Chains A and B, each alone.
Chain A
Amino acid sequence: MGEFKVHRVRFFDYMPSAIRAMAFNVHTERLAVARVDGTVEVFNIADNCFQEKVIPGQDGRTIEALCWAGGRLFSTGLNGEMVEYDLENLRAKYTVEAYGGPAWTISSNSQGTHLAVGCEDGTVKIFELLEDTVQFKKNLDRLKNRVLSLSWHPSGTQIAAGTLDMIRVFNVNSGHATERMMVDRAAGASKKKEVLVWGVVFLSDNTIISGDSAGKVQVWDSKMGTLIRTHLVTKWDVMALSISQDESSLLAGTSEGSVVQFQFLSANLDQPDREWVRTRTLRSHSHDVRALVHTETAAISGGNDTQLVVRPFMEKVVQSSKESAPRKITFPHRSLVSCAKKAGILLFQFPERLELWRLGESQGNGRPGEELSVKRKPEALIHLKRKGDDHICCSALSLCGGWLAYASVSSVRLYQLQYDDDSITIAKVKLPKVLRWANQLCFSADSSRLFASFSQSSVLVFALGQSEAKYVHTLKPKSVSRQAVHLMSASDDGKWLATANSDCEVHVYNLSKLKYHCTVPVYSSCPSAMAIHPTGSNLVMVHADQQIFEYSLVQKEYTEWSRTLQKIGLHSSWLNRATPVTHVSFSTRNPDHIILHDMHMFCIVDKSLPLPEKDSDLYNQKQLCSMTEKARIKDSHAFKICESFKNLLCVGLLEDHSLVVVERPLLDITTRLPAPVRQKKFAT
């Protein structure tokens, strides 16, 4: 296969934001995750937990709670506003002021007709869902303290509200409180410290389960207002509760990072009396668990350690299948790094800034495994802060490094860069007014055009001239999907442009004719990465379920190799990988080589070699290394997987055939997290 010089880059300071809230839509199997910086991400749990959509955050908007109401997604935050999101254009649709101070919680009834918002001033506000907006309906009886948690009774007539030291039950119709349940303060701590009821769950049998800052999970009878059972779960706070759909299992997330499961079981066989029994403890977080979702088969948790963890319940899934493997989602499923392969320049995207780096140079050559001495160190060229409050949602760098563009939900900016020997000049280029925002940006290979995906999967084409950009054309797909484009790729020969949206549609446009060319047959899983081959006019797509397709744009059909691959089937080790492929690129020297990478490895697929046998080892580089040349030929297969580099954010191939590997060690992320709650460990 050959030797590669690898630029191992670890100076991308990417820092994910802590997870603050989650909401799960049972009908669409979409999980909405809100982070502390205001970003809302939508994961498709059915499609290998693929991160379908990212709604960028905004300075000043913090999210405390998320909720689905039908297919609509709402959030409230400490700025006192309620936000509904536009899931097609990936932006906030509108905001409604709740007029109750910081809004701590939001909850919709099971019918999806009303929303309840708990506010700092002690009010619970009921909003009615209208076609395109929400309308304030009424306040329930005002409480003395802030409302931290809310839960509707499945019938929609009652609502339980957790506040300081207390749980109140309201009749929604009358608006009056019907029950008052006092929650004990923590035994050891100061008696003056109020106990915060962080979570309540209202069950259809009129049981209320609460979790509070004293570490208790308590079961209440809401009719009598009496305490049935107290489980002391932790010394710290119980910050999140989640109930399964059939109300037989409950999860409680603690500040220690553990998730405790309770199940509604009968103590003895043949006895109808059931009670909530603590059954198991999952430990997958180092920090507070702030958000929890109980799906049919798994516990999904997130918190201050920024990771989204999916832990399947072993009794609910088939053993040792792909579903049974626990997942940790640390990095976004899209590229934050752009690589100008002709110039050796990297662009790093942060929510509030862009960084432009020039790669270093090495001295001489070396043997495999060696580290070369760095002749020229990498250099930070530009530190570009965004304008406005909206976070950057996408960015692009032309292959020559001469153009740079970024977009937020409110603006798109284009810059021209000029490199002299030592200095660099950056000039803003005005874009026509048509482009108010964009989901994806992309330059053509010769840097003459900028493509920006816009609403309803359309793409605007701009011609780049000397310090100006002219609107050329709008490419529109022949489809009914209104979903936003999340992948866009232009071919190196300038002939083709491909876009993919979260409805799994891949559209191809002919750039020479500036018109729609074709749509690739829709596959059930969302494409996670794609690229067009520089010479062969073949589109290579990798989907969230790890399938690889190669589609001939000229013939408008899958290529021979792709069909062979589908016929033989991908190796099970390949299909069982937990992270999606986020980047596809091609070798300039060998047209048969496709370079793919996910978080844990990168792979060079050599189409000329036989596919791996079912029972052979997919990860066979180490074995091949120790073999003789002859045996190696016999044993080698198409998938050359390199696992030497971990926690990959980007793997790209430069013009000079050297690789760029951008790593972000998880340890570096962990060390920047705030200290977790102190736990007594052995001998400390």
Chain B
Amino acid sequence: MATLYEGYTLCGLVKSPNSLDSGIHGIELESDNDHVVVTDSTRSVTLYKLSDQKPLGSWTVKQGQSLSCPAVYNAGTKEYVAVSDGKVIRVWQAGDLLLDKAFKATLSSTVWRVHCVPGGAELYVLFSRGAVRLLDALLAAPQQPIEEVLGQEEAIRWSAGVAAETQNFVVFTTEQKGSHFLYVQRLKPNSLQKFCLEPEDVGLAPLSYSACYRDGHISLLYLYPNGHVYKSVVSVRSPPLEEVGEAVPLPRTQLLCLPVGETLLEAASALFLDDDHIAVVGAPHPAAGAGTNFLCIWNTNFQTLQAGKEMAGKLYGQLWSYASKLFIPHGKSLTVIPYECPKSSLASALGKLKHAGAKVSRVPACVPSWSAVFNGETAMQSEPMETSQSNAQHSQSSSDGPVNQVLDLIKTATVEVIRKEVEAVLSQADIQGLQPWLGQLAGSLVSRSMADPSFYTPSTLATLVGTRCLCHSVCPELLMLALEKRDYSLVQLCLQSFPDVPENITCCCLKTFLSVPDGDVETASLEPGSLSFMETLTAQEHGTKLNGFSAAGGEHHHHHPERTSGLLVHTCPVGVHKAVLLNEVLQTPYSDTFLLPHLKDLSPQQVMLFLQYLQFLYFNYSEDSFEQEDKSRAPTLTQVLDWVCLLLDAHFTVLVMTPEARGLLVNLHSFVKYQVRFVSELGKLEGSLQELQHMREEKHIGQYSIQVIKLF
């Protein structure tokens, strides 16, 4: 798991207020990892020592002049090189106090950047028109003619120096009439390659680039304002000898799709950290709304967020990374944030939030249902083993074909045809083998249903859910669709078989169940087991009434005879079908911290009704006469009590303010009090009984006794 450590401020930013620019022109590493040269956009170059967080030296050009290119440090000659006013190269050493007295040379063409290749001792000068020269050669003849490489209206957007094993490269990107090109300038021997970047949506230009060399390839990382992060790879081993002219299309792969929401990113930047990790600045944190003031580290293999940090103040979309430190100008300061990206593994990648939108892989997601795993299908365990063997080929091909056909069918065919086809698929192959495809089937059914309101296949979906191979994460829209279509039997089935229903969905279901009129639910064909349980529960309540004694333990302690609520205790406040659905909600797994915020969305009426129902269950469970026959379909007493607590937690103030709720709460309170007292009495009793047992053990035998024994 990558970590962002506590950062520190290296320096303040010198800039005009409200400016969009950070005022930092560039940051370059000095002689060692502890020193950096910061060039600000006005006139000065400052050397900082990172461990001391303080400047060691500063050089400034004269008023009226400006630095047009960030200063770089030439480790070979121990000199600093900068360009002022586009054409004047300045070279100085650490000992030089005044920049004006240092060496100057005026060139014949405008310089874009001076690049120092990491680890190399040579500096390269990239001219604005695309030519590249070695600095030494240039200084020998400053006024030499510089050729033009770029075409008309083509301008450099970004450039970098890259060191491969034996060669150095200068890469730069250009823009010409909305098209973007990548140039790779090979040095010694010189050669130039030109690539054309695949166009993104109209009018979108990459916000940032980053390049690095890895395994014989130069990787280029670029981020678009819509949050897409792409990677393109250029091999360094195939030197093209043909003349520059025709741009070769450069293939790209999407690494990430950052969640950007509605708006486009304005100032953002993405940077390679290592093979698997990229740092992104200026994009929103997926868990924190639309604000873009975040520095995030993403794992590109698993598309997971590894670490995130909110930065104070405005971000300028600038980011540098040297020696495991990120340099990020924000607000009014430049902050250094050390980071760590250990080798990633699936386990660590799953640790933090996984953003659903970031998933771009085209392979059908195989999210096995945990319950299926734990229910111990050995076939399931042996399956992956076999998959790689010969047998798997067979099963793959046998199930692939029909499934693809069905997938195609789903897009067009009628409900009845689809039902038959799906049943045919399910019957012919073993379900475990089909598991990855079932999600796809369900997903496409759901998406068609959502797109086409007249299309809905309840029985097919029920069959798919009935296989118990699906889970909520495989097709997240299914449950909501069923709710929308008022297909309560499917909802029940989903709640029963999905082990991973999120709390907000659970709450949605609860809300729907509570607000739906009883009449609507009664038509639904719910699972008979759960129905019979509720029927016995309500029948019991009638039975006790008929016999003339209502054995509710709480009743004896109802010293506050609130008529209305007293009645509620003994009659189920909801219909049987509704109660069955509510029971399913009660039995859904949840974690209360996540449930609680959603629970607050219930309206007071819904809360009252639900609380009444829970009270009904609680009172009934506490009765001696109550015996659960089929335990599997009924919420346990603990579940009921947990929900009562949650509900009270979420809505306590509301309930206290609602006059109708008073009776209910008083009732509940007195009953709980009674039960607590009863249990404490039982505890005392247990103590004395234990003492009794203790006493029996230590039976004292006196000096003389007459006993009767029997021998057999």
Contact = CB atoms under 8 A, between A and B. Distances in A.
Interface of A: 1-11, 360, 362, 365-372, 374, 377-378, 604, 621, 624-625, 627, 632, 636, 640, 642, 644
Contact of B711 (A2, A5, A377): A2
B704 to A, nearest CB: 5
A642 B707 CA distance: 13
Contacts of A9: 703-704
A632 B705 CA distance: 29
A374 B706 contact: yes
B708 interface: yes
Contacts of B710: 1-4, 368-369, 625
B346 interface: no
B137 interface: no
Given A8-B706, A371-B708, A378-B704, 13 more contacts: A1-B712, A4-B708, A4-B710, A4-B711, A6-B708, A368-B710, A370-B707, A370-B708, A374-B704, A625-B710, A625-B712, A640-B711, A642-B709
B277 to A, nearest CB: 57
Nearest to B704: A378
B708 A367 contact: yes
Nearest to A361: B706
Contacts of A1: 710-712
A185 B662 CA distance: 87
B708 A8 contact: no
A379 B710 CA distance: 27
Chain B CB within 10 Å, residue with most, of A366, A370, A371, A636? A371
A237 B137 CA distance: 101
B206 to A, nearest CB: 76
| A interface, over-half SS | mixed
B687 interface: no
A368 B708 contact: yes
Contacts of B707: 5-6, 8, 369-372
B701 interface: yes
A374 B706 CA distance: 7
Nearest to A3: B710
A604 B705 contact: no
A132 B711 CA distance: 56
A365 B712 CA distance: 19
A81 B246 CA distance: 132
Contacts of B705: 8, 371-372, 374
B189 interface: no
B528 interface: no
Nearest to B712: A624
A7 B704 contact: yes
A3 B709 contact: yes
A644 B709 contact: yes
Interface in B687-712: 701-712
Nearest to A665: B701
Given A1-B712, A621-B712, A624-B712, A6 B704 contact: no
10 contacts: A5-B706, A8-B705, A9-B703, A360-B704, A368-B709, A372-B706, A374-B706, A378-B704, A625-B712, A644-B709
A621 B711 CA distance: 7
B706 A371 contact: yes
Contact of A10 (B702, B706, B709, B712): B702
Contacts of B708: 3-6, 365-372
Nearest to B702: A10
A509 to B, nearest CB: 35
Contacts of B712: 1, 621, 624-625, 627, 632, 636, 640
Give me the 7 closest cross-chain CB pairs, A-B, nearest first.
Answer: A368-B710, A624-B712, A1-B711, A362-B706, A11-B703, A372-B706, A640-B711
A9 B706 CA distance: 9
Interface size class of B (residues with CB under 8 A): 10 to 19
Nearest to A11: B703
A374 B704 CA distance: 9
Chain B CB within 10 Å, residue with most, of A8, A366, A625, A632? A8
B410 to A, nearest CB: 69
A642 B709 CA distance: 9
B703 A10 contact: yes
A8 B701 CA distance: 9
B706 to A, nearest CB: 4
A315 B451 CA distance: 88
A8 B708 CA distance: 10
B307 to A, nearest CB: 52
A650 to B, nearest CB: 14
A669 to B, nearest CB: 15
Contact of A369 (B703, B704, B709): B709
B673 to A, nearest CB: 43
Contacts of A11: 703-704
Chain A CB within 10 Å, residue with most, of B706, B708, B710? B706
B700 to A, nearest CB: 11
B711 to A, nearest CB: 4
Contacts of A624: 712
A1 B710 CA distance: 8
A372 B708 CA distance: 7
A2 B699 CA distance: 25
B525 to A, nearest CB: 55
Interface in B278-311: none
A365 B710 CA distance: 13
A25 to B, nearest CB: 42
A142 B708 CA distance: 68
Contacts of B709: 3-4, 6, 368-369, 642, 644
A188 to B, nearest CB: 41
Chain A CB within 10 Å, residue with most, of B704, B707, B710? B707
Chain A CB within 10 Å, residue with most, of B708, B710, B712? B712
A654 to B, nearest CB: 12
A627 B712 CA distance: 10
A365 B706 CA distance: 10
Nearest to A629: B712
Interface in B450-468: none
A117 B707 CA distance: 55
Nearest to A365: B708
A371 B704 CA distance: 11
A604 B701 contact: no
B27 to A, nearest CB: 67
Contacts of A644: 709
A604 B711 CA distance: 9
A371 B710 CA distance: 13
Contacts of A368: 708-710
Contact of B706 (A6, A621, A632): A6
Nearest to B708: A366
Nearest to A1: B711
A412 B419 CA distance: 115
A513 B703 CA distance: 45
Contact of B701 (A10, A367, A372, A627): A10
A10 B711 contact: no
A49 B164 CA distance: 95
Interface in B608-658: none
Contacts of A372: 705-708
B711 A8 contact: no
Given A8-B701, A10-B701, A360 B711 contact: no
Contacts of A360: 704, 706
Contacts of A621: 711-712
B129 to A, nearest CB: 90
B707 to A, nearest CB: 5
A2 B709 CA distance: 9
Nearest to A626: B712
B442 to A, nearest CB: 61
Interface in B328-380: none
A378 B702 CA distance: 12
Contacts of B702: 10
A367 B710 CA distance: 9
A366 B710 CA distance: 11
Nearest to A8: B705
Contacts of A632: 712
A568 B708 CA distance: 34
